[in-house]
Amino acid sequence: MIVGPGREGAAFTDGGDGDVGKDLEARRAVSSSLGISPEWATVRQVHGSRVFEANSPGALGEGDALWTTEPGLPLAILTADCLGVVLHARGAVGVAHAGWRGAAAGVVAALRGAMTAGGASPHRASIGPGIRACCFEVGDEVAGIFPGRVAATSWGTTSVDLVAAVRDQLDDVKVWSVGRCTFHDDGMFSHRRERTESRMAAIGWLP
Ligand SMILES: [Zn+2]
């Protein structure tokens, strides 16, 4: 598990924490070590940009971001290559699920906009592990969606820098990034590398 900086509530699980998507014991163990409730609020992720406001635990519906002003209510996004992003504001927290489709749809900007409209403008972001530019090989059709964020894999083919694409949606928000690549770093779940059904979590909460 990787815990975000400072006193703000952000944590990212890794493979060593188990499949927190389906294994409720693993979810309970993670929650216990963070000192948070094991009852998380989630969404049914569809690689889009719909944002929900959460007031209680459980799955809210089809969407890829959620936020809350409820202290102690954990919000979670499940990932295995996509980026989990936690946005911190005074009195609110939000999480977003950003793979290339979500980033292209502007899910992080949508979350930021929803929180700002709700009176809680994010001032800080934490970005979890994901498939990074070193390994995120893409075809021309995906590269074409991210002009200026095209990069190269470590083996020299075209890739996209999703972390940079997410930062583009955060303007002056201060960003902290875990900086680990799910595809080539040990101890991570990677859907692209192993077709895994297991998931890691990006968890945000108001302490
Ligand atoms: Zn990599």
What is the tens place of the pLDDT at every residue in 40-94?
999 999 999 999 999 999 999 999 999 999 999 999 999 999 999 999 999 999 9
What are the tokens at 95?
Answer: 């999480």
How much is the average pLDDT of 181-186? 97
**Tokens of residue 201, six digits:** 């979590």
Using one digit for the tens of pLDDT, what is the confidence trace for 87-103?
999 999 999 999 999 99
In CATH, which superfamily holds the domain spanning 2-130+173-205? CNF1/YfiH-like putative cysteine hydrolases (3.60.140.10)
Q: Can you point out the beta strands (E) in 13-111? A: 41-44, 51-53, 58-62, 65-68, 75-79, 83-89, 92-98
Average pLDDT over residues 14-29: 97
Distance 100 CA to ligand 1 centre (A): 15
d(CA 103, CA 98): 5
Alpha carbon of 134 to ligand 1 centroid (Å): 4
Residues in the chain: 207
Q: Tell me the HSE value of 151 on the side-chain side, using a 13 A CA sphere.
A: 18
CA-nearest of 42, 84, 76, 85 to 61 is: 42
The pair of structure tokens assigned to 36 is: 């948070």
From the CA of 196, how far away is ligand 1's center (Å)? 17
* Ligand 1 centroid distance, CA of 183 (Å): 5
Q: How remote is the CA of residue 2 from the centroid of ligand 1, in Å? A: 18
**Cα 97 to middle of ligand 1, angstroms:** 19
The span from the CA of 68 to the CA of 88, in Å, is 10
User: pTM score > 0.95 for this model?
Assistant: yes
Q: What gap in Å lies between CA 72 and CA 35, rounded to an integer? A: 10
Which one, of 126, 60, 56, lies nearest residue 89 by Cα? Answer: 126
What are the sequence ranges of the domains in the chain? 2-130+173-205
